[in-house]
Structures are given as C-alpha cells and as structure tokens.
Amino acid sequence: MKNKFSLRSIIVIIVLVIVVFMGGMYFGGRSTPAKEEITSTALTQKIRDINELAVSEYDYTKVGKFSNSLKFNGWTVPLTQKSFLITYEGKMKAGVDLSDVQIEKTDNKIIVKTSAVKILSNEIDENSIKVYDETKNIFNQISITDYKTFAKEQKKKVEKEAIKNQFLEKTETKVKKAIKDLIYMTVDQEQYEVEVEVSE
C-alpha cells in the first residue's frame, strides 16, 4: 500500500513538472516574439518621410543702405538720387533634403547617402524692419520694388557671409549626427555601424 502511494506521488510530480515546463515554453515564446527584419527599403522610407532635415540656424541683425539714381545714356541724372537706411533682423536655416536619400545595408553596416547640405530658408522679420534717412525725391520716388530688391540683395549678402564662416561645413557635421541618431532609433547600435555620406 505504501509502495502504491509512493509510485502515485512520483507520477503526479512528473506530470506537474511536464505541465510547468510546457507552460513556460508556451508563455515564454509568446512574451518574446521574433524580431522584425530590418531592411534597407524600410529604413529608406522612414528617413524619406522626414523630407527635410533642418539642423542649423543663423540669426542675424544687420544695417543696410539703399541708393539709386536715374541714368541716361550711362550718365547719372542730377537731383534724382533716392536712398534709405534700414536695420533688420532675420533667421536662416540650413540642412539637407532627405526626399532622395539612399540607404545600403549589409550584415553589420548601414550606409546612408544624402544630397549636399544647403540653405533651406532665409527670412527677414518684417516686424523688425526700421527705416531711417528715407529721401523724398519727386523725380525718383522710392517704391515697393526698391524695398523688395534691397531685401533680396541683403539676404544674398548674409548667405555669403555665413558660408564664408563655414556655416555649411558645421551644418554637415550636425546632419551626419542627426541621421545617425535617427537610424539608431530603429536598429541596435551594438549590431550596426552607421556611415553617412553627404554629397559635395
């Protein structure tokens, strides 16, 4: 009788162990689903969806002078000079267009190829504009076109100044870091090396 009780106890224990083991395998498998495969196509689409990546800003405060006189056969007509002095503030942004980015992926390396960095926007704050020393010449009056032309020329000057001060080179460095950070939000940093190539 004692032997039967012991044998029955052993069988019950074995059954319980099997049930616990199978349950652990089942629930453990459900709690750790297979990792989704990362493809170059999926990464490319993810980055392209950003469209435009602005990483640098260039704030400026400037003073500019406009001067113009009427001309006749290459000669300046006397008493026709018009001029004004303006102070203004603006903001310029630079970055890269990601709409045509290309991504190549190997077992342990991801190569991202982008177009060249560029100035994405350059706007003068209209509320900051102050006009001084504006002439009132009845023969050559200041027009809205004069202001628009002047603003366009001033923007070009600011862009040249920023480029001379390596604004785009600094932007390129920031672009590479930003893209790497974006990629590493999707892939394992320990598994993949990310290289970013920016066109000249």
Are 43 and 65 part of one and the same domain? yes
Q: Long-range contacts made by residues 169-178, C-beta under 8 angstroms, separation at least 24?
A: 170/56, 171/55, 171/56, 171/94, 171/95, 171/117, 172/117, 172/198, 174/55, 174/56, 175/53, 175/55, 175/95, 175/96, 175/114, 175/117, 178/53, 178/55
Are 93 and 62 part of one and the same domain? yes
Report the share of the chain in percent with pLDDT over 70: 78
Are 80 and 119 part of one and the same domain? yes
CA angle (87 as vertex; 85, 93 as ends), nearest 5: 135
Range of the domain at 132: 36-198
Are 52 and 120 part of one and the same domain? yes
- Which regions of the chain are under pLDDT 50? 2-5, 30-35
**The pLDDT value given to residue 174:** 97
**The pLDDT value given to residue 32:** 44
Distance CA 187, CA 195 (A): 13
Are 148 and 49 part of one and the same domain? yes
**The pLDDT value given to residue 74:** 73
pTM above 0.75, yes or no: no
Are 43 and 57 part of one and the same domain? yes
Are 20 and 68 part of one and the same domain? no
8 Å CB contact between 140 and 81: yes
* Number of structural domains found in the chain: 2
**The pLDDT value given to residue 17:** 54
Are 90 and 122 part of one and the same domain? yes
Are 18 and 48 part of one and the same domain? no
Are 23 and 42 part of one and the same domain? no
**The pLDDT value given to residue 35:** 45
